[in-house]
Amino acid sequence: MSNINKPNKFLPTTKKEMQERGWDELDVILITGDAYIDSPFMGIAVVGRILEDIGLRVGIIGQPDVNSDVDVKRLGEPKLFWGVSGGSIDSMVSNYTATKKFRNSDDYTPGGQNNKRPDRATLVYTNLIRRYFKNTVPIVLGGIEASLRRLTHYDYWTNKLRKPILFDTKADYMVYGMGEQAIIDLGNYLKEGKDPRTIRGLCYIAKEAPTEESFLEIPSHDECLKDKEKYIDLFKAFYDNNDPIYSKGLYQEVDGRFLIQNPPSRHMEEEEMDKIASYPYQRDAHPYNAKDGKVKCLETIKFSIMTHHGCWGECNFCAIAAHQGRTIRTRSEKNILAEAKHFTTMKDFKGIISDVGGPTANMYGYECVKKINLGTCVENKRCVDAHRLCRTMKVDHSRNIKLLKDIRAVPGIKKAFVASGVRYDLITADKKHGYEYLKEMVDHHISGQMKVAPEHTNDEVLHHMGKPGKQTLIDFKAMYDRLNKESGKQQFLTYYLIAAHPGCEEKHMHELKQFTTHELKMNPEQAQVFTPTPGTYSAVMYYTELDPFTKKKIFVEKDQRRKEKQKEIVVAKNQFAGKNKKTSSSGMQG
């Protein structure tokens, strides 16, 4: 049954709201590095609604003051557990650029000034709880910041390997990955007084190693510190054991104790995805936070629709595969259309849906049958790599095309944009429906420009990135230009480009510049300097200076000045004399 039109309120963030519900205490208090925004795009809100749905009394504290007890104490002490998240974005990525300069703005903070999210927010918030609540109920970590740091990991900001985050924070448990089923199990187990350490998708610290055959020992923290190849072995085990169908649990020795990672929790089925998407989210910032100013991210997410979770693109610099998983889980068309119709009942909706998509917009509606039944392939076999798409992955945009057409047909919907990233290689690979899908996009779902992410064009660099070759981009651009001409539109491509990725030298950036000038006929205005983030193969390359698949030496640029120079090569404006300077495309800002 859909809850989309069910009247409700924000989850409480003040004592007054608790009293209005007749509550004198809460079962769970969730703390986040973002303002409290009640939206299906905000992990902490989704967790709160899931726990509410199983009958728990839940409160949320967004961006607490870490220098006093005012915020952390304002809801009292929970009966069952504290939940701690660094926020929707890793706090270090949110606070610093790729060249380690502090960011002045924060799209998840009211007023937009970056003055409320501490560095290493998960660690800081856990310490805040411990400081003011002695011998309290369990503290449970969640969210992308914790999830990607659950084992020994490379930390770019200190340039060293750090211990699993449970050892740094001294929290009791961690829910890793998307965690929908794990958080349901955890809430029920603690409510019933059961030991949660058997829950799939959970990490904890133990004095002894597990003896079950369903667990795999991985290199210890000390071994990783002494031998970079051991760290590569650890990361491969981390990366390959994220599939709920076949993955084993992992255990790692750290200073005489053990980090235990239980096998992953199962993925949500379509009906469950629909239910979670249909909770009565208020789709706004809580008034307690909103009084401090507008929250910029709401401009994008308030009237957007998430169609699916997961991504099998496996770009080596991206953590989505490790956090969300490599199997696509979709919502039903009926449920998505109900959400679109609900928008039209909201007083501030102007008829524009900002985005219909997911981690990769055009992965909606199809999956590899083998993967669904047996799980993701192992031993470095990927659905798509720099050379080809796996023959068992049958790309089919037909269901996505119909969904977009049906959304456009909803009375009150003027425009439904697809702002999420699109894999252009999947469009060219779909010989039956790729052209039709792109035509649908060109005619109805983009606003002046379409975002694509070639990142680079040199084959060696693309290999280290896990991206398709440049010929695919050339073929796609020709198709895109032809469709715009047929439609009588002047719409352009925006290219995401990366400088200083492992394996990339200045000569490769000069090649990229030549390609953008002569093949793409444009001047990139921006490019992103590579950031080594936890949970990615590219970060492993950066730290070890080895190709993790062959363990052969590769070049890695680590000098900040020369990283910036690589970026400057491709954005230089004096090398292009084309006619369309005003429409030149740009990449992500570093």
Which pLDDT tens digit goes with each residue over 315-328? 999 999 999 999 99
What pLDDT sits at residue 392? 87
Query: Which amino acid, one-letter code, is at 237?
Result: A
Cα gap 71→66, rounded to integer Å = 8
User: How many whole angstroms from its chain centre is CA 10?
Assistant: 24
Nearest Cα to Cα of residue 163 among 275, 258, 236: 258
Closest CA to 83 of 62, 68, 69: 62
How many CB atoms sit inside 10 A of residue 452's CB?
A: 21
DSSP 8-class letter at 362: G
CATH architecture of 15-205: 3-Layer(aba) Sandwich (3.40)
Check residue 581 and give its pLDDT.
40
Distance CA 39, CA 362 (A): 23
E strands, 101-210, are 139-142, 153-155, 160-162, 173-175, 202-206
Q: How far apart are the C-alpha atoms of 456 and 550, rounded to whole Å?
A: 22
Confidence (pLDDT) at 588: 33
Q: Is 311 annotated as a binding residue?
A: yes
Residue 525 is predicted with a pLDDT of 83
Residue 84: φ, ψ to 5°: -125, 130
Contact 523, 495 (CB under 8 A): no
Of 21, 49, 60, 474, the C-alpha closest to 289 is: 60
Q: Provide the residue ranges of all domains of the chain, joining segments of one domain with +.
A: 15-205, 303-447, 452-487+496-577+583-587
Q: Nearest 5 degrees, angle CA 86-CA 164-CA 170?
A: 70
Same fold, 303-447 and 452-487+496-577+583-587: yes
d(CA 97, CA 255): 33
User: In this structure, which amino acid lies at residue 549?
Assistant: F
Amino acid at 105: S
- Alpha-carbon gap, residue 422 to 451, rounded angstroms: 7
377 is in an annotated binding site: no
The CATH architecture of the domain made up of 452-487+496-577+583-587 is 2-Layer Sandwich (3.30)
Q: Is 60 helix (H, G, I), strand (E, B) or coil?
A: strand
Judge: domain 303-447, CATH 3.90.1280.10: no
Instruction: List the chain residues with pLDDT less than 50.
Output: 1-7, 575-590
Are 326 and 291 contacting, i.e. CB atoms less than 8 angstroms apart?
A: no
DSSP secondary structure code for residue 197 in this structure: G
Q: Which of 326, 319, 184, 152 is nearest to 244 (CA)?
A: 326
Angle at which helices 398-408 and 333-343 cross, to 10°:
30
